[in-house]
A = this chain, B = another copy of it.
Amino acid sequence: MSEKIDRRRARTKQLLYQALMSLLTEQGVEHLTVTDITNRADVNRGTFYLHYKDVPDMLEQIKDEVFESIRSEVIQLDFKQAMACADRNEPYPISVAIFEQFALHADFLKAMFGTKGDLSYAHRFRALMAANIYEKMRYNPPSDLAVPFDYLIAYMTSANFGMLMHWIESGMKQTPAQMGAFMTKIINFGPLVAFGLRELPSVSSSSKPH
Contacts and interface: CB of A to CB of B under 8 A. Distances in A.
Nearest to A116: B120
Contacts of A159: 155-156, 158-159, 162, 191
A102 to B, nearest CB: 15
Interface in A136-195: 142, 144-147, 150-152, 154-159, 161-163, 165-167, 170, 182, 185-186, 189-195
Contacts of A156: 159, 191
B207 A142 contact: no
Contact of A161 (B117, B142, B158, B170): B158
A31 to B, nearest CB: 10
A118 interface: yes
Contacts of A207: 197-198
Contact of A142 (B162, B170, B197): B197
A118 B118 CA distance: 8
A105 interface: no
Contact residues on A (Cβ < 8 Å of other chain), bracket: 35 or more
A63 interface: no
A209 interface: no
Contacts of A185: 146-147
B196 A144 contact: yes
A186 B119 contact: no
A169 to B, nearest CB: 9
Contacts of A192: 189-190, 201
Contacts of A206: 196-198
A126 B113 CA distance: 13
Interface of A: 113-120, 122-123, 126, 142, 144-147, 150-152, 154-159, 161-163, 165-167, 170, 182, 185-186, 189-204, 206-207
